[in-house]
């Protein structure tokens, strides 16, 4: 239980993230309704969480709706959601990714597809499993509307969850998305035996590169050095079970991208994202060597040796 | 139809409005002591330097400052009311329907006299000319319909002191109801202008007063007017664009009163709808171009830029300008953008708000909590920021490119190509140095028109009436003809078989209208 009065919360998405958020919210004693298109009830879902397949029921249940669906369906889901919500709803997504060729932040997709204005995003190092089994963890939330960050904090902050708040929504969304790519690189580098010192140096460079790219997209630089930025990366150093890291390790082991994707439990957004990020950096004249290397790894164009020597080179 | 607008009853409501403003400002005052101290401190400092005329005002604030420590909380609140009332009365204008009727008849004639002063008997014909040369575009029918359903806030771009006159003229011609607006107090010092301003519902804004209490009174005044149905005109850029660029950032203070007024009105039996209409005012020639761009360069260049000559705006310059503008069809284009609600939703003819997917939205849902309308400063500030962003996007889309902008863009492109790698201030020093052969100039103009047309096809900009479908040679002709004899220093000087790039500052100024669209050089962004 926490200090916040019980307030209904709706969650969209029956996958691992939807389940995780439902667990965290229900643990704090809030009436929680989960919308899922799957026929069966997720087996680790707490008993007090109700499940519905009716979006309108979800919209009636709560003002705060947490959106946890894969990025490739978010537009379609948001469009249906737009038919049942109105200007009073708060939409907050927990999707690590940017949409389409234009790298549109997911919060923008929510605004385009629904009448809602008060949108936000979740980020930070918490893994789905932390929330499901109840390990102490940290999440970040960002919205330009203090009402929204207040509502999310009310829903998720508790003895087992610290919620860190920011108003730089663009910063959080870009930071999370770019970190997703750095996680893959981290998994890859560890698998090819990059020693810790070099790993630290490489991640620092990656972080600075991500910061320059995000700033070109309108983020505040300091957001990259907050919980959803550097905090996320620090945690990943010892999160061996991060799906992105596993994907990276699989690539290092000689798997093709398609094979590596097939082995992953969660959809890894980074694979489609990285080429677009590299193009974006080029267009904005931002130096992005690390991201270009990650792109080369995804495409299978480079050998492990080339990657390793690339990390050592100076220009 | 326009006579139904509430402004025609303003005088009956005047004292009610003033009292409403006073009541709201005093209710909202969280810390009367702080508010009064701040006001007294600012005013004493300001008035100290101006002995004489405003002595009484100075003494008033000295007395206030001295007594603040001694008086009780309720007495302080009473003092807040007193100061607020003093300001509200000063701000509140007057509206005289007779003056309005007179001005709508007089203004075109006065302007047409300016157009052809030698031909007094043909005033009517000249006024017809103005009609031709001032082009109005956009969803005017819808704006007219909306003005009967709620309050319309007109939010145009701001380039010139002529803007309010030209905008007012276009308004009247299109049968749009008169709009009230805040005019700088300095405009009230001229007795002739002052008479018109005062009686046309303009309210007085004293830009010298900078403390919060005054700003609160001003914003509340605007909010009460909007709530009561008075159509309003804001220039959300705050001041005239110095660079000539379309505004990319706005001052949100007055714009925010739109949201506030809407929330307030929801508490009444008949809520007042509020509609925002962005507009661009596009000139072939800008009256004060030389001084404005010099201001801009001095500001961004610091010591890298030295003002060489100071040009003032005199009556004969206005006359020359108006005569020049009349030579070319469509040399002033006012283009209204799509009306929206304060939450940036598109608005249909019947006043309904619709989202990007065309679903009807009730704007009240954005500001109600548990069914009750609630004012929330942080939330409303964000709505206002987003409204400002939407207005800027509309400005960029609805910018009308005229011959002078495109030709300046082509010429400035040549200047940059002639000195690759040089920074802006070095570039600008190459006055009267670069020769462009006529055929190259034409090719550059043609190329720019093609790129502009491609953007227009994507709905990102608008080609002016004299440009669409015209050959590059005609566009080049129109621009050079407009410039010649208006600006002291030739902008583009015809020379043997081509042109010499003359006043590089003015080339920058006119090409800056292309900057936001990406067609021209953008002085605020990195090269490329």
Question: In the prediction, which pLDDT does B484 show?
Answer: 83
Question: Residues A78-106: what's their mean pLDDT?
Answer: 95
Place of tokens 């005289």: B96
Alpha-carbon span A264 to B469, nearest angstrom: 57
The partner residue sitting opposite A86, judged by closest CB among B356, B361, B379, is B361
Mean pLDDT over all residues of chain B?
Answer: 84
Least confident range from A9-23, B65-79, B141-155: namely: B65-79
Minimal Cα distance from B387: which residue of A? Answer: A117
The partner residue sitting opposite A79, judged by closest CB among B345, B357, B364, is B357
Record: contact A83-B365, CB cut-off 8 A: no
Condensed to tens digits (0 to 9), the pLDDT of residues A261-300 reads 888 766 777 888 999 999 999 999 999 999 999 999 888 8
Alpha-carbon span B35 to B82, nearest angstrom: 13
Question: Residues B163-174: what's their mean pLDDT?
Answer: 81
Query: What is the nearest CA distance from A27 to chain B, expressed in angstroms?
Result: 25
Record: contact B355-A88, CB cut-off 8 A: no
Mean pLDDT over all residues of chain A?
Answer: 92
Alpha-carbon span B134 to B402, nearest angstrom: 13
Condensed to tens digits (0 to 9), the pLDDT of residues A186-222 reads 999 999 988 889 899 989 999 999 999 999 999 999 9
Record: contact A87-B528, CB cut-off 8 A: no
Quick one: what percent of chain B has pLDDT higher than 90?
Answer: 52
Minimal Cα distance from A145: which residue of B? Answer: B379
Minimal Cα distance from A85: which residue of B? Answer: B361
Question: In the prediction, which pLDDT does B198 show?
Answer: 58
Q: B10-28 and B212-227 helices cross at what angle (nearest 10)?
A: 130
Minimal Cα distance from B356: which residue of A? Answer: A112
Alpha-carbon span B99 to B110, nearest angstrom: 15
Q: Domains of chain A (ranges plus CATH)? A: 9-167 (3.40.50.720), 170-312 (1.10.1040.10)
Record: contact B355-A114, CB cut-off 8 A: yes
Question: Which one has a higher pLDDT value, B136 or A306?
Answer: B136
Where b means 16+ CB within 10 Å and e means fewer, A209-246 reads bbbbbbbebebbeebbebbbbbbbbebbeebeebbbbb
Domain extents in chain B:
2-91, 97-281+334-396, 400-515
Condensed to tens digits (0 to 9), the pLDDT of residues B321-370 reads 666 665 555 688 999 999 999 999 999 999 999 999 999 999 999 999 88
Question: In the prediction, which pLDDT does B113 show?
Answer: 45
Question: Which one has a higher pLDDT value, B263 or B129?
Answer: B263
Contact B364/B345 with Cβ under 8 angstroms? Answer: no
At CB < 8 Å, which residues of chain A contact B? 79, 82-83, 86-88, 112-115, 117-118, 144-147, 285
Tokens in use for A130? 């932390």
Task: Tell me the chain A residues in contact with residue B528 when contact means C-beta distances shorter than 8 Å.
Answer: 285
> Is residue B307 over pLDDT 50?
no
> Is residue B217 over pLDDT 90?
yes
Query: How deeply is B469 buried, as exposed, middle or buried, from its count of CB atoms within 10 A (0-12, 13-18, 19+)?
Result: exposed
> In angstroms, what is the C-alpha Rg of chain B?
25
Contact A207/A158 with Cβ under 8 angstroms? Answer: no
> Is residue B381 over pLDDT 50?
yes
Alpha-carbon span B502 to B506, nearest angstrom: 9
Task: Tell me the chain A residues in contact with residue B368 when contact means C-beta distances shorter than 8 Å.
Answer: 88
Condensed to tens digits (0 to 9), the pLDDT of residues A241-269 reads 888 899 999 999 888 888 888 887 667 77
> Is residue B173 over pLDDT 70?
yes
> Is residue B509 over pLDDT 90?
yes
Query: What is the nearest CA distance from A118 to chain B, expressed in angstroms?
Result: 9
**Which of A110, A113, A115 to mutate: most B Cβ within 10 Å?**
A115
CATH pick for B97-281+334-396 out of 1.10.10, 1.10.3470, 3.40.390, 3.40.1130 = 3.40.1130
Residues 329-358 of B with CB under 8 A from A: 343-345, 355-357
Alpha-carbon span A66 to B47, nearest angstrom: 56
Interchain CB contact of B393 with A (< 8 Å): no
Question: In the prediction, which pLDDT does A3 show?
Answer: 63
Residues 108-137 of B with CB under 8 A from A: none
Q: What is the ipTM of this complex?
A: 0.91
Question: In the prediction, which pLDDT does B308 show?
Answer: 43
Condensed to tens digits (0 to 9), the pLDDT of residues A41-50 reads 888 899 999 9
Query: How deeply is B344 buried, as exposed, middle or buried, from its count of CB atoms within 10 A (0-12, 13-18, 19+)?
Result: buried
Integer angstrom CA distances of residue B365 from A143, B266, B343: 19, 11, 10
Q: What is the largest CA-CA distance in chain A?
A: 58
> Is residue B118 over pLDDT 50?
no
């Amino acid at each position: 239980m926490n200090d916040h009065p019980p307030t209904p919360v709706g969650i969209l998405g029956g996958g691992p993230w939807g389940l995780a958020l439902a667990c965290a919210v229900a643990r704090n004693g809030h009436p929680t309704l989960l919308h899922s298109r799957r026929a069966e009830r997720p087996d680790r879902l707490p008993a007090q969480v109700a499940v519905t397949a009716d979006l309108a029921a979800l919209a009636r249940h709560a003002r705060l709706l947490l959106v946890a669906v894969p990025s490739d369906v978010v537009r379609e889901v948001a469009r249906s959601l737009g038919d049942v919500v109105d200007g009073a709803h708060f939409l907050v997504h927990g999707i690590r990714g940017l949409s389409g060729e234009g790298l549109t932040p997911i919060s923008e997709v929510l605004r385009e597809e629904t009448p809602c204005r008060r949108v936000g995003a979740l980020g930070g190092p918490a893994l789905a499993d932390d929330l499901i089994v109840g390990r102490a963890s940290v999440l970040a939330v960002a919205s330009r509307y203090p009402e929204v960050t207040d509502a999310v904090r009310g829903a998720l902050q508790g003895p087992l969850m610290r919620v860190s708040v920011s108003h730089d929504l663009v910063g959080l969304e870009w930071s999370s998305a770019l970190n997703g790519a750095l996680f893959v690189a981290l998994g890859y580098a560890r698998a090819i035996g990059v020693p810790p010192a070099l790993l630290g140096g490489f991640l620092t460079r990656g972080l600075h590169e991500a910061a320059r790219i995000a700033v070109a997209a309108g983020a505040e630089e300091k957001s990259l050095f907050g919980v959803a930025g550097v905090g996320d990366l620090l945690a990943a150093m010892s999160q061996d079970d991060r799906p992105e890291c596993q994907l990276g390790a699989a690539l290092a082991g000689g798997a093709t991208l398609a094979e590596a994707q097939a082995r992953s439990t969660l959809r890894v957004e980074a694979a489609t994202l990285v080429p677009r990020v590299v193009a974006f950096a080029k267009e904005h004249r931002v130096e992005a060597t690390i991201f270009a290397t990650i792109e080369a790894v995804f495409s299978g164009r480079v050998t492990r040796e080339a990657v390793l020597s690339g990390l050592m080179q100076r220009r | 139809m326009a006579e139904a607008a509430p402004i025609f009853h303003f005088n009956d409501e005047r004292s009610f409005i003033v009292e409403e403003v006073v009541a709201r400002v005093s209710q909202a005052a969280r810390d009367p002591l702080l508010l009064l101290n701040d006001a007294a401190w600012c005013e004493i400092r300001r008035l100290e330097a101006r002995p004489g005329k405003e002595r009484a005002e100075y003494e008033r604030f000295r007395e206030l400052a001295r007594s603040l420590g001694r008086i009780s909380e309720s007495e302080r609140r009473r003092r807040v009311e007193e100061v607020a009332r003093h300001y509200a009365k000063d701000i509140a204008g007057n509206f005289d329907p007779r003056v309005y009727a007179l001005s709508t008849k007089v203004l075109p004639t006065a302007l047409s006299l300016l157009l052809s002063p030698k031909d007094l008997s043909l005033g009517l014909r000249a006024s017809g000319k103005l009609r031709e040369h001032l082009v109005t575009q956009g969803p005017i029918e819808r704006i007219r319909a909306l003005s009967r359903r709620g309050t319309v806030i007109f939010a145009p771009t701001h380039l010139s002191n002529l803007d309010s006159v030209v905008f007012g003229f276009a308004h009247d011609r299109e049968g749009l109801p008169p709009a009230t607006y805040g005019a700088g107090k300095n405009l009230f010092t001229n007795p002739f202008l002052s008479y018109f301003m005062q009686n046309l519902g303009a309210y007085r804004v004293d830009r010298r007063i900078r403390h919060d209490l005054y700003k609160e009174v001003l914003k509340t005044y605007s909010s009460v007017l909007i709530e009561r149905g008075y159509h309003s005109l804001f220039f959300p850029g705050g001041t005239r664009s110095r660079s000539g660029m379309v505004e990319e950032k706005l001052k949100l203070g007055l714009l925010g009163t739109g949201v506030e007024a809407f929330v307030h009105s929801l508490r009444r039996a008949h809520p007042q709808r509020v509609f925002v209409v962005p507009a661009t005012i596009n000139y072939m020639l800008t009256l004060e171009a030389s001084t404005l761009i010099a201001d801009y360069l001095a500001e961004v260049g610091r010591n890298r830029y030295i003002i060489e000559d100071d040009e003032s705006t005199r009556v004969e310059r206005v006359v020359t300008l108006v005569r020049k503008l009349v030579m070319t069809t469509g040399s002033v284009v006012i283009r209204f953008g799509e009306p929206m609600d304060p939450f940036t939703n598109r608005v249909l003819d019947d006043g309904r708000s619709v989202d990007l997917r065309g679903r009807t939205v009730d704007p009240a849902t954005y500001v109600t909590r548990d069914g009750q309308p609630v004012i929330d400063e942080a939330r409303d500030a964000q709505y206002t920021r987003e409204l400002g962003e939407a207005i800027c996007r509309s400005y960029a889309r609805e910018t009308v490119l005229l011959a002078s902008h495109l030709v300046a863009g082509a010429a400035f492109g040549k200047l940059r190509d002639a000195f690759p790698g040089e920074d802006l201030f070095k570039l600008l020093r190459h006055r009267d140095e670069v020769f462009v052969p006529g055929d190259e100039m034409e090719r550059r103009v043609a190329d720019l028109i093609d790129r502009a047309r491609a953007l227009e096809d994507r709905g990102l900009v608008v080609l002016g009436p004299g440009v669409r479908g015209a050959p590059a040679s005609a566009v080049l002709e129109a621009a050079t003809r407009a410039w010649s004899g208006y600006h002291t220093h030739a902008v583009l000087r015809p020379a043997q078989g081509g042109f010499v790039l003359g006043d590089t500052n003015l080339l920058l100024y006119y090409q800056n209208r292309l900057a936001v669209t990406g067609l021209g050089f953008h002085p605020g962004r990195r090269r490329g």
